Amino acid sequence: MKDTYILAFESSCDETSVSIIKNGHDEIATVVLTQMDIHALYGGVVPEIASRHHVESITIVIEECLNKAGMKIEDIDAIAVTYGPGLIGSLLVGMQAAKTLAYLYNKPLVPVHHIAGHIYANNLVQPMEFPLIALVVSGGHTDLVLMEEDYSFKRIGGTLDDAIGEAYDKVARVINVPYPGGPLIDKMAFEGEDTYKLPIPLDDDSYNFSFSGIKSAVINLVHNEEQRGNKIIKENLACSFQNRVTDILVKKTMKALKEYNVHNLIVAGGVAANKGLRSKLEKECKLENIKLCVPDIKYCTDNAAMIGAAGYYAYKLGRTADLNINSKANDSLK
């Protein structure tokens, strides 16, 4: 069978990334240019600055990716791009680049939902086996998704308020840990002990999550201790927070696997890099005989390789778009 090469674009937040993926699973080349250091100065992503940096970087990143792969655009079968959700000014830069190349080189254009990309990052590790449950944990999402076949997404639950990554970043901010706080809180959690009394996030029979209560509890606790002149032991707070949120994520995920009689679990999104979450899931999945797949750390946070992997399956299913397609700041996974 002839190989299919996808040229993929991702620019939904603060990473400008271009990748070439063969047959939905072989990474030929990926370039990721992160703006993290720039936004760290402001304590979070500044949308206007992000889109300006995408504009400055995109052509350089495209050229570098093609050079790395030793390929020309003529060798590509289709062009995939994150159409949403994300920061609109950032999304538009990737979309415009993808549309321009699709028009100039007469290639099919394949729009990819950002979360479909995060899910398909797992296909770069090993072929995804269906049915599966995907635990999606990122800066903007916390969802449990049932997939019975390629590119079929059934959301069975998700956060009612803050996304898990967002909660990590806000907790980090209140204890003066620099943006993005998630990875540092994760590291600190292993250096501390679970000593702080924090509420258990929404522990009911549903597959929904709620992290705003525990986030507010951390903020209040820090402020109260400061007013009393007491010192916060940051590592212990990180450990207590991480335990509470990962326990509930793991509990509801394992319940979903049981109820839907599914034996494959994949984890997707930036928080899939979390060591506490990974080790708890590994332990539970071993006990319950569930096949667990987590992406390599470099594929957990935003990158275009995952968009190329998802884009391949979307392309095979004929999910192409014409040049009138627009980026969308919000859109559900379907």
Contact footprint for Zn ion (CB under 5 A): 138, 302
Q: How far apart are the first and last CA of the chain?
A: 29
- Is residue 165 part of the contact set for ligand KG4 (CB under 6 A)? yes
Figure out which of the listed residues 24, 94, 182, 192 binds ligand KG4, where binding follows CB under 6 A.
Answer: 182
Q: Is 180 in the site for ligand KG4 (CB under 6 A)?
A: yes
When the beta carbons of 15 and 27 are compared against Zn ion, the nearer one is: 15
Q: Which is nearer to Zn ion, 162 or 302 (CB)?
A: 302
258: three-class secondary structure by DSSP: helix
Question: Which residue type, as a one-letter code, is found at position 102?
Answer: A
List CB contacts of 128: < 8 A, sequence separation 6 or more.
Answer: 120, 122, 147, 150, 264, 266, 293
Residue among 52, 76, 48 at smallest CA distance from 62: 76
Which residue bears the tokens 């979360």?
115
Helix or strand run (H / E) with residue 268: strand 264-268
Rounded distance, CA 10 to CA 68, Å? 17
What's at 44, amino acid-wise? G
Q: How far is the CB of 302 from Zn ion (least distance, A)?
A: 4
Nearer to ligand KG4, 180 or 192 (CB): 180
85 touches, from Zn ion, ligand KG4, none (C-beta below 5 to 8 Å by class): none
Say whether residue 270 binds ligand KG4 (CB under 6 A): yes
Q: 139, 85 in Cβ contact below 8 A?
A: no
Q: Which residues pair with 155 in a beta bridge?
A: 145
Binding to ligand KG4 by CB under 6 A, coded x per residue (else -) over 298-327, reads ---xx-------------------------
| Residue nearer to ligand KG4 on the CB measure, 84 or 165 | 165
Q: Compute CA 192 distance to the chain's CA centroid, rounded to the nearest angstrom.
A: 26
> What is the smallest separation between the CB atom of 61 and ligand KG4, expressed in angstroms?
17
Check binding of 140 to ligand KG4 (CB under 6 A). Answer: yes
Question: Which positions from 272 through 291 interact with ligand KG4, judged by CB under 6 A?
Answer: 273-274
- Residues near ligand KG4 (CB under 6 A): 13, 118, 138-140, 165, 168-169, 180-183, 186, 269-271, 273-274, 301-302
